[in-house]
């Protein structure tokens, strides 16, 4: 098992890294070159940079992902693909993507895109809060503990 992070806009990377290091689970952070950083990470934390193309990070993540891996992303489309590969997929706001909720999430995204395309204004995502951070940390820790106990 490894943890893969869609890292460009992920506000919980530090939480993921800290927990992964404690549990000795490798982490791969996938970012576009537009978000390049000289930040050094400890052993077990790898950063992969990809072209800035629209789906470059998604393609690389799907190439890396294997059954049983944990993926953290806010991209519903990528989450759907990872679920098909039997990955455990989490959103940084502290919820789990499942086969039961992904269709509704994708439908909502599609309807919002159609509204924007027709000229209507739609609400963007709510700001990321400390409560969101704490909810994610609790969910992530629980999921990692659960997966480690079953391996």
Give a yes or no: residue 109 inside a domain: no
Q: Read off the pLDDT of residues 93-111 as tens digits, 9 standing for 90 and up.
A: 999 999 998 878 888 877 7
pTM of the model: 0.88
67: Cβ–Cβ under 8 A, 6 or more apart, which residues? 85, 86, 87
Q: How far is CA 16 from CA 27, 50, 66, 69, 129, in A?
A: 8, 21, 18, 14, 17
Residue 45: in which H helix or E strand, if any? strand 45-50
pLDDT at 29 over 80: yes
Give a yes or no: residue 92 inside a domain: yes
Give a yes or no: residue 32 inside a domain: yes
Q: Which of the 8 DSSP states describes residue 90? A: E
- Mean pLDDT throughout 51-58? 86
Q: How are beta strands 45-50 and 95-97 bridged, if at all?
A: unpaired
Give a yes or no: residue 123 inside a domain: no
pLDDT confidence of residue 23:
94
Q: Which residues, listed in sequence order, are joined to residue 45 by a DSSP beta bridge?
A: 27
Count of structural domains, the chain: 1
Which residue range is the domain that position 33 belongs to? 3-98+129-149
């Amino acid at each position: 098992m490894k943890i893969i992070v869609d890292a460009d806009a992920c506000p919980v990377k530090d939480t993921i890294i800290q927990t992964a290091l404690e549990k000795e689970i490798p982490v791969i952070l996938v970012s576009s070159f537009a978000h390049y950083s000289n930040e050094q990470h400890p052993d077990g934390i790898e950063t992969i940079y990809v072209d800035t193309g629209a789906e470059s990070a998604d393609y690389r993540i799907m190439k890396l992902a294997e059954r049983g891996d944990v993926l953290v992303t806010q991209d519903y489309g990528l989450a759907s693909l990872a679920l098909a590969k039997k990955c455990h997929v989490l959103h940084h706001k502290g919820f789990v993507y499942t086969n039961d909720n992904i269709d509704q999430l994708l439908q909502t995204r599609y309807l919002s895109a159609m509204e924007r395309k027709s000229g209507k204004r739609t609400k963007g995502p709510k700001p990321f809060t400390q409560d969101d951070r704490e909810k994610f940390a609790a969910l992530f820790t629980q999921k990692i503990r659960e997966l480690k106990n079953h391996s």
